[in-house]
Amino acid sequence: MIQTDDLYRQPAMLWPMLVDLMRRTVRRKPACGTTRDMSRLPSFPNRTSRLIMLIVVGMCAGCASAPERPQYTQEAATMATVVGMPGDIRMWADAPKEVFLSEARQLVSAARRRGQSLALLALSGGADDGAYGAGFLNGWAQAGTRPEFTVVSGISTGALIAPYAFLGTAYDDKLKRMFTEIERQDIFVVRALSGLFGASFADNTPLKKMVEEQVTPELLSAIAAEHAKGRRLLLATTNLDAQRMVVWDMGRIAEVGTPRALEVFRKVLIASASIPGLFPPVLFEAQANGERFSELHVDGGATMQVFTLPPAIFTHPKSGTVPRGSKIYMVINNKLAPEFDVVRVSAIPVAGRSFSTLIKSSAQQTVLQTYDFTRKNDVGFFLTFIGSDFDFDRGDMFDQAYLNALYDYGLRRGSSGKGWHEEPPFGN
């Protein structure tokens, strides 16, 4: 059963989209054995305001039994490695700063050997709003100013963009097609009533198929070659058992070069984009101290909307991990600035608006932390996000007209160079 406490502890979850789909497409059981037509529920103009309905769904889901998982300890979780893979393919995002210092020095040295300064690109979550990031990156390339990034990180929809952004402009056409030629059925299929009693509301088999088609052995070989040059591709998932973010070194996985590595690479992509409740969680077979068990991973956005630097680096800004003259680019696939709206005084609109604010505040906090770090270390700060001037009436999730309009908007902003902010639009 979904507990209200859990929703407050994980404000970055993209529950509102799930609620929107439920209202549009299914009939639910408000109590075991009683049917009610969802289409007759009151209409709420802001889809985020429907979030509170999930509490009711959680009560219904409590009527069904979930499959048992083997138990394992917190100590085992801390030491765990993925079965069939080396132990250095991932790390905890909240690890001590010493864990990151050696790797940071290697990145800086490799960049200097290439005659480059350190350039970090962080791509946020945002579901279908990822069309903005795809368009912006391609417009940036058209302007001829997009650099080769030392590090590319991605969360959720940003994780799907990240491999192409990492490999460079030769993959821009594939990036465009991924966000302009798809529809909802290319990503997931609604389970209808059965979704309320299973691991997720939707079946993301179409997304898995798309990832399998796009993530080929050839793609991994290209990523491994860039990894060997000292560049890094990092994707994030949330380990729900541990309530911690995991950062995966995708270039290291690609470097392994085995069929198992290809499987794990694809699973990480799926897990990072597995919106909790909407898509099924992803199980990773792990081992520690001779014991095997499964870890439950979901969207990295459940812990952080965008990953620029590890928390330990934020708390030790003078650690020397990012040298002077480096640049950090943040692409937020969402509207970041506060949006005024007079909220109706009713339980569901108030709760939905509150959760929407929490999600936005999570992204804003990381932006402010990153900006503060760059000021203290003489590092360039560049931020882009969906502006208030983009006002296109969205239909269903992954509505193709909306995706193309948002992609074109991002393309214009990227090519003009006017989409960058060198300080946050708030908190100053």
Give the other-Cβ count within 10 Å of 32's Cβ.
10
Name the residue among 301, 225, 220, 204 with its Cα closest to residue 262. Answer: 220
For residue 44, give the amino acid letter.
Answer: F
- C-alpha 62/C-alpha 101 separation (Å) is 45
Helices assigned H by DSSP within 128-256: 130-142, 157-167, 172-180, 205-214, 217-228, 250-256
- C-alpha 342/C-alpha 315 separation (Å) is 37
- C-alpha 163/C-alpha 165 separation (Å) is 6
Which residues have CB under 8 Å from 76's CB, separation 6+? 288, 289, 291, 293
- The token pair at 159 is 């994780």
Rg of the chain, C-alpha, whole Å: 21
- Buried-state track 72-88, b at ≥16 Cβ within 10 A, e below 16: beeebbeebebeebeee
Among 49, 124, 153, 156, the one annotated catalytic:
156
Q: Any catalytic annotation for residue 299?
A: yes
Reduced to 3 states (helix: H, G, I; strand: E, B; else coil), residue 334 is strand
Q: Any catalytic annotation for residue 37?
A: no
For residue 382, give the amino acid letter.
Answer: F
Start-to-end C-alpha separation, the chain: 41
Which residues have CB under 8 Å from 33's CB, separation 6+? none
Among 200, 249, 299, 362, the one annotated catalytic:
299
Supply the residues annotated as catalytic.
156, 299
